[in-house]
Structure 1
């Protein structure tokens, strides 16, 4: 078992009922954990699956054309205000693999409001 898996397992095992495992800025915030019992009787705790929201749930406020040397953390810091929120760019642009967003120079990326937040009146 890798250190990361051990750490996650310890976190899941020690979580109190109803306690949040991740901060509000995490894509995993609000996900519940659950468990299963293996054939040998071990209890295995894990996070429930996170479903990527449909792109239609995001209001576009701007577009960014990918340039040479763009990085998702820098784009996230510039447009969202936090480099660790790069996953919001992924969700808004239907990217499963984050690096695919910046692989093609000239690609247009949607910069959006958080999921479900409507665009202000007069915005496109």
Structure 2
């Protein structure tokens, strides 16, 4: 049995185990917490999210960047949800989503939409 106050609150349902929605890149990533020397419950934080390897991401199409495109607009058009821009970033192995659309004519891999 744990005596960790934050874990007890999570288990009691007072703190959601994942405060992030299903479209968030952090959905399902466990929470950690920092306990101060004073013993108070501390500060919750998100543990490390490991980006999947490109070889493990199913790519279904390729898109050529045109003028005025932005990552979230591309995600809305290709994946059906602007909040899924991070899936495009993961599939193209970039940490800055704007790197996807900064260069006209750049090829962007489009991953399989969620749920397929």
Distance 1:16 1:41, change over 3 A: closer
Unaligned stretches of 5+ in structure 2? 1-5
Q: How far 1:25 moved relative to its partner? A: 1.1
Aligned residue pairs total 104
Unaligned stretches of 5+ in structure 1? 1-11, 118-124
Q: How far 1:20 moved relative to its partner? A: 2.5
Matches within 5 A, 1:30-109: 30-39=28-37, 41=39, 43-109=42-108
Quote the Cα distance in structure 1 between the aligned partners of 2:59 and 2:31.
32
Alignment RMSD (CA, Å): 2.4
Contact 1:58–1:114 (CA under 8 A) maintained in structure 2: no
Question: TM-score with structure 2 length normalisation?
Answer: 0.77
Quote the Cα distance in structure 2 between the aligned partners of 1:33 and 1:109.
32
Question: TM-score with structure 1 length normalisation?
Answer: 0.73
Q: How far 1:113 moved relative to its partner? A: 1.1
